[in-house]
Structure 1
Amino acid sequence: MAPSETVLAKRTGITRILYTCVHSFNGLKWMFKNEAAFQQELALFIPLSMLAFYLDISLSHSLILVASLLFVLFAELVNTAIEVVIDRISLARHPLSGLAKDIGSSLVLISMLIATAIWLALLV
């Protein structure tokens, strides 16, 4: 190992879990403050989740409805992570950077189609 290289000790046990929770919360906080699409999806997630538990359907069906909405939020997190990494590498326009962002956007679209299909299947 070169003299300028340092080895970072990996956290273990409860310390690792606590730091993971802090980093996860920081990511969600950033998304909530800075990502308009995430804010819009969250604005739909909250009332639709409440509706899912209000409906006269089984608990398992309500949970499936909520899980489909969580999948949309998950997809938006992945899409934004892709965009952030691409922008970190370079702000210059490049076909592969655009393609990566387009694929991330497609991920969100597919998650929304899945959620819509699940809601329609369970409610119609």
Structure 2
Amino acid sequence: MRLHLSDSHDSADTHEPLGPDDPLAPLPFNPYKGNRGVTRAWHALKNSLNGFRVAIREESAFRQELTLAAILVPCGVFVPVDAVSHVLLLGSVMLVLIVELLNSSVEAAIDRISLERHELSKRAKDLGSAAVMVALFFCVMTWVLIVGPLVVRWVGNWIRP
């Protein structure tokens, strides 16, 4: 049997309306999505600053990493290396903060769904934690490879008269 174009058109007209759990259902109205230009940027800035406030107030890991960043960023600016090394040093610290914020957002979304223990919730949280660990390892590796030789040379010059 051959399907005619008119047959497929008839079946498309008779589909069931999309339910709220259907991934193709339209999203609820968001008053900020229609904003453009400066208005959109202003709302995004306010939301971002609110996110920082929440992370600083509620997330102890973010506070610890922010404290580490407050120490490493000035060091990364003033250490005598080339521009690319400065970018790598500072970027590795910023990457840790970015990944921690994303991990915290995943944890908040999982907790919003349910606080009961579930294997998929645990997996999502563990994967986020692993991402933070990889970012921290990358940061440590970057600092050791770039700043380590400078420190060894400085200490060697300081010990030898």
TM-score (norm 1): 0.91
Residue aligning to 1:40: 64
Residue aligning to 1:83: 107
Residue aligning to 1:94: 118
1:53-96 per-position Cα deviation (integer Å, ceiling 9, x unaligned): 22111233222201100000001001000000000000011000
Residue aligning to 1:26: 50
Give the number of equivalent residue pairs.
Answer: 121
Q: Secondary structure at the match of 1:14?
A: helix
Whose RCO is larger (CA < 8 A, sep 6+)? 1
Q: Structure 2: state its 5+ residue gaps.
A: 1-16, 18-26, 150-161
Q: Secondary structure at the match of 1:97?
A: helix
Kept in 2, the 8 Å contact 1:53–1:59? The answer is: no
Residue aligning to 1:111: 135
Kept in 2, the 8 Å contact 1:79–1:104? The answer is: yes
TM-score (norm 2): 0.71
Q: Report how far residue 24 of structure 1 moved.
A: 0.5
- Aligned mates of 1:8, 1:73 — CA distance in 2: 28
- Aligned mates of 2:98, 2:127 — CA distance in 1: 15
Structure that is richer in helix per residue: 1
Decide whether aligned partners of structure 1 residues 85 and 8 sit closer, same or farther in structure 2, where only a CA change above 3 A counts.
Answer: closer
Structure 1 position 69 matched with structure 2 position 93: yes
Structure 1 position 57 matched with structure 2 position 102: no
Q: % of aligned pairs identical?
A: 32
User: What is the identity, as a one-letter code, of the residue corresponding to 1:21?
Assistant: L
Q: Secondary structure at the match of 1:20?
A: helix
Decide whether aligned partners of structure 1 residues 52 and 8 sit closer, same or farther in structure 2, where only a CA change above 3 A counts.
Answer: closer
Runs of 4+ more than 3 Å apart: 5-9
Q: Report how far residue 8 of structure 1 moved.
A: 4.0
Decide whether aligned partners of structure 1 residues 82 and 56 sit closer, same or farther in structure 2, where only a CA change above 3 A counts.
Answer: same
